[in-house]
Amino acid sequence: MILLAKDKKVNEQKDERSKLEKELFYEKKSAWDALREEKKMADKLGNDYREFIDNYKSEREIVDYAQKIAKKNGFVDIKDANPSTKKIYAINHSKNILLIELTNSPLEEGMRIIGSHIDSLRLDLKMSPVYEANPFLMINLHYYGGIKKYHWLNTPLAMHGVIFNKKGEKINVTIGEKEDEPVFVISDLLPHLEGAEGREKLAKDIIKGEDMDAIGATIPIEDKKIKERIKATFLKTMNDEYNITEHDFTSAELSLYPAIKSREVGIDYGMIGAPAHDDRICSYLGLEAMLKSESKKAKLLLWTDKEEIGSVGNTSMESMFLENIIEKIITLRKEKTTAKEVLQNSKALSADVTSGFDPKFADKMDPTNMNKPGFGVAVEKYTGAGGKSYGSDANAEYISWIREMLEEAKIPWQHGELGKVDQGGGGTIAYILAKYNMDIVDMGPPVLAMHSPFELVSKIDLYATFKAYKAFYEKK
């Protein structure tokens, strides 16, 4: 009897501790458990997303895709809009697109804005991009964004872009995406020749940026009078296919992207692997949320360029594109406000990915402030590096509003940081939109192997992010 009484007392204490933990402790829970009844919808969204990322890689291609979808859903080019037009889109230099769905409420009340970037890591062809180094024709490249250069060795690469010939005619180029098309490759040194010096190289020194040239051709042209016969083969092939000459490369935008199709990862099909989830995943989900949400407040979607190199240039978030378009719409509607006032009264999401926890590199993350794949959409209160330098830091009031939104909609979410303090860091477009004095915070799915040619994201995080973006547009 005494033993039973002791056991009962111990059990009561355990129950009491569990109750306290339940009431006071914060516990991250698997999004797979929270959204188990919606798994089929997550699978469908994952399949739709995979079709998008497999077919659209350059900024121009992505903008063309969005324009087609916008037109199909009743959006009108701002050039053709009138004062009563509710759905408007605008394009900037073929690399930005803005969609806005207006209501009868005055713009002065502000909007709901989701902004993301559509540029991704790649290798850009230089203005004089080809040279012969017998027995090869080499393509001379300049890498774009924060890549690990050795990742791109021995990776099949496809060419995407545009060329303007001497007449100013635009020629679209895509080579290497179809199974029967050739790809381009930056070859690596075989381990047998590395020697001690090669084995002791730092990762950043495995290959230098100037050495990242891809093999473009190997067969000499038949005409033996030509000095550079392999180069002639390359140029003749390009001329036959696109009617261009070598000089036309000076007025071209051509890049090499990983010629890798998306795949489901894991025996349970729980993740999606593909190049450039960063940040095509958030762009795609923002568009889906824009089209599938109902809101009594004006909503805006913005896709920007050049984020991976610091948001500089006339197609970046630093350009005046957003502000200028809002001014045009204000003038069109004859409202008495300004773009700056509209933006100040708006709420925004910087839709971007963040780092996901990888147990192999656990020492790089703060275990109490990290985002786990499969645990829902991630909210990053602040970005930047070290002491939050060059970052955006949302205020507590806005985080409270976001938290209420997510929990009202029963969306699994988590919060964390990019990594340990002083470990590294990174920024997004959030700090640029914040200059308008609007409330903004970063939100998106955690990603593994970010900035590699094959990034990984949880399918359930993709779905939770879509639900979060949709809830953001719809919250009263």
- Is residue 54 reached through a cis peptide bond, with omega within 30 degrees of 0 on the bond before it? no
Question: Is 106 exposed, middle or buried (CB count within 10 Å of its CB: 0-12, 13-18, 19+)?
Answer: middle
φ, ψ at 171 (rounded to 5°): -125, 120
Q: Which residue has the higher pLDDT, 348 or 390?
A: 348
How sure is the predictor about 219, in pLDDT bands with cuts at 50, 70 and 90? very high
Closest CA to 447 of 206, 260, 265: 265
13, pLDDT greater than 70: no
* Strands, sheet with 377-380, edge to edge from the N-terminal-most edge strand: 76-77, 87-92, 96-101, 299-304, 112-117, 347-351, 439-444, 377-380, 413-415
Q: What is the overall mean pLDDT for the chain? A: 94
5, pLDDT greater than 70: no
16, pLDDT greater than 80: no
How sure is the predictor about 59, in pLDDT bands with cuts at 50, 70 and 90? very high
Q: Which tens digit of pLDDT belongs to each residue from 149-189?
A: 999 999 999 999 999 999 999 999 999 999 999 999 999 99
CA atoms within 13 A on the CB side of 90: 21
424, pLDDT greater than 80: no
Domain assignment of residue 25, yes or no: no
Range of the domain at 138: 122-258
Q: Do both 304 and 440 map to the same domain? A: yes
Domain assignment of residue 6, yes or no: no
Q: What is the DSSP string of 6-18?
A: HHHHHHHHHHHHH
Q: Which of 258, 283, 299 is the last residue of a domain?
A: 258
263, pLDDT greater than 90: yes
Q: Do both 453 and 326 map to the same domain? A: yes
Identify the pLDDT of residue 3: 46
444, pLDDT greater than 60: yes
Q: Which residue has the higher pLDDT, 380 or 28?
A: 380
Identify the pLDDT of residue 23: 86
Domain assignment of residue 208, yes or no: yes
End-to-end CA, the chain: 60
Rounded-to-integer distance, Cα 383 and Cα 376, Å? 19
Its pTM stands at: 0.94
The share of the chain scoring above pLDDT 90, in percent, equals 86
How sure is the predictor about 121, in pLDDT bands with cuts at 50, 70 and 90? very high
Q: Do both 463 and 316 map to the same domain? A: yes
Rounded-to-integer distance, Cα 166 and Cα 251, Å? 9
Q: 374 by DSSP, 3-state: which? A: coil
Question: Domain containing 307 — which CATH number?
Answer: 3.40.630.10
Identify the pLDDT of residue 17: 64
Identify the pLDDT of residue 451: 95
3-state helix, strand, coil split of the chain in percent (to 5) is: 40, 25, 35
Q: Do both 155 and 112 map to the same domain? A: no
Identify the pLDDT of residue 203: 85
Q: Do both 308 and 410 map to the same domain? A: yes
Strands (E), 240-310: 252-258, 263-265, 271-274, 299-304
Domain assignment of residue 14, yes or no: no
Please name the residues in contact with 223: beta carbons below 8 A apart, sequence gap of 6 or more.
Answer: 229, 232
Question: Domain containing 209 — which CATH number?
Answer: 2.30.250.10
Mean pLDDT of 59-77: 98
Domain assignment of residue 116, yes or no: yes
Q: What is the DSSP string of 104-126?
A: SS-GGG--EEEEEE----EEEEE
Q: Dihedral (C-alpha) 185, 190, 191, 192: value to the nearest 10 degrees?
A: 180
* Cβ atoms of 452 and 39 closer than 8 Å: no
Cα-based angle 462, 468, 474 (whole degrees, multiple of 5): 140
Q: Which tens digit of pLDDT belongs to each residue from 277-311?
A: 999 999 999 999 999 999 889 999 999 999 999 99
Identify the pLDDT of residue 106: 95
Q: Do both 384 and 237 map to the same domain? A: no
321, pLDDT greater than 80: yes
* Cβ atoms of 465 and 282 closer than 8 Å: yes
Q: Do both 248 and 279 map to the same domain? A: no
Q: Do both 115 and 129 map to the same domain? A: no
Domain assignment of residue 9, yes or no: no
Domain assignment of residue 7, yes or no: no
37-46, 146-155, 188-197, 309-318: least confident range: 188-197
Report residue 256 CA to chain centroid gap: 17
Q: Do both 141 and 238 map to the same domain? A: yes
Rounded-to-integer distance, Cα 417 and Cα 399, Å? 15
Q: Do both 105 and 186 map to the same domain? A: no
41, pLDDT greater than 80: yes
Q: Which of 212, 229, 258 is the last residue of a domain?
A: 258
CB neighbours (10 Å) of residue 55? 12
Show the tokens assigned to 61.
């291609």
4, pLDDT greater than 80: no
Identify the pLDDT of residue 18: 82
Strands (E), 275-324: 299-304
Q: Which of 225, 258, 291 is the last residue of a domain?
A: 258
Tally of domains in the chain = 2
* Cβ atoms of 449 and 456 closer than 8 Å: yes
Q: Do both 295 and 164 map to the same domain? A: no
Identify the pLDDT of residue 7: 54
Cα separations in angstroms, 257 against 237, 347, 383:
20, 34, 27
Domain assignment of residue 17, yes or no: no
Q: Do both 251 and 313 map to the same domain? A: no
